[in-house]
Amino acid sequence: MNILITGSKGQLGLELENLGHQFPNLKLFCTDKFSLDILNFEEAEQYVFKNKIDAIVNCAAYTDVNKAENEFEMADEVNHIAVRNLGLIAKKHQIKLIHISTDYVFDGNSEIPYKETDATNPQNAYGISKLNGEKALLEIDPKNSIIIRTSWLYSAFGNNFVKTMLKLGKEKESISVVADQIGSPTHARDLAMAILQIIPKISSDGLQVYHYANKGQCSWFQFASAIMKIAQRNCEVLPIPSSAFKTKAKRPKYSLLNTDKIAQAFNLKIPDWEEALRECVSKLEVKY
């Protein structure tokens, strides 16, 4: 199968490229915004046609949550208009599409893990732009296509919370981290592995929505504490409420995702978040 990866320079895209060699039946075509403009329908369609693409994995996204408050148009172009283009191309050429979405489509007022069927109600511009992309795909409803919502993504690549904490753990004696936002960190490598495993198995009459995050739950404070402990940093992590850490965009208080559906549909074993974190930190220790 010929697989087009968009946004291949992001955390998830780089993990997919890194794991590709383990899947000899899949040939990955890795692109970024400089090598393929998915906002240009004709250009994207031509690329798919020319390279005989069988499936698209859309990792391209505008992900700066705070900046999106002032740059909604730009966020919506990437998270909505480009997604609609890929949906139309997938439907027209009868190819598979995997689109990556986010826990931020929910409002965070739940007390139990969100299921795929729960009502969406984003609380910030980023979440609205991502939901617009989901709605566009649901309207197009391409066959053999799925949306995967994920949360708190980190990896050995790119900029993320884990790398920031490892850096601060060396520089500071103590740091304060929000303790009243609950979710599950997701190692991008685990999500990438799941995507590459399920691509050949995807078979549905219309679009399906799934959730994928590492098992278990924690607050950002607990996440930071675990990073320091695994990396054996002597930096004290202090819990603070969200009200003490002002950000431009509102964050959901609770965004834990129920992952039963994807685990059962594709027979996936999803690693626990602490186990996944240990694996990532051991890789990063050399650099940090």
SS3 label, residue 154:
strand
β-pairing verdict for 2-6 and 55-58: parallel
pLDDT of residue 242: 94
Assess whether pLDDT exceeds 90 at residue 258.
yes
Which pLDDT value is given to residue 246?
A: 87
- pLDDT tens digit sequence for 184-199: 999 999 999 999 999 9
User: Which of 195, 211, 217 is closest to 148 using CA atoms?
Assistant: 211
C-alpha distances (whole Å) from 180 to each of 103, 168, 280 are 16, 21, 24
Residue 241 lies inside a defined structural domain of this protein: no
Residue 175 resides in a domain = no
Report the number of distinct structural domains present in the chain.
1
What pLDDT does residue 286 have? Answer: 61
Q: Which residue has the tokens 């996936």?
A: 268
Asked if residue 248 belongs to a domain, the reply is no
State residue 285's pLDDT score: 72
Q: What is the CATH number of the domain that holds 45?
A: 3.40.50.720
Residue found under tokens 């690549």 = 157
Residue in 47, 104, 114, 126 annotated catalytic:
126
146 domain residue, yes or no:
yes
105 falls within a domain: yes
* pLDDT at residue 288 greater than cutoff 80: no
Active-site residue, 126 included: yes
Residue range 101-112, pLDDT digits in tens? 999 999 999 999
Q: Cα-atom radius of gyration of the chain, to the nearest Å?
A: 19
Q: Is the pLDDT of residue 164 over 90?
A: yes
- Alpha-carbon span 70 to 40, nearest angstrom: 24
Domain range for 191: 2-160+186-216+255-271
Let me know if residue 225 belongs to a domain: no
Residue 197 lies in a domain: yes
Give CA angle at 74 (71, 78), nearest 5°.
140
pLDDT of residue 287: 66
Q: What mean pLDDT do residues 12-18 have?
A: 98
How many CB atoms neighbour CB 25 within 10 A? 8
- Provide the 8-state DSSP code for 270: P
- Residue 245: CB atoms within 10 Å: 14
Phi, psi of 88 (to 5 degrees): -65, -40
What is the percent of the chain with per-residue pLDDT over 70, rounded to a whole number? Answer: 99
Residue 266: inside a domain: yes
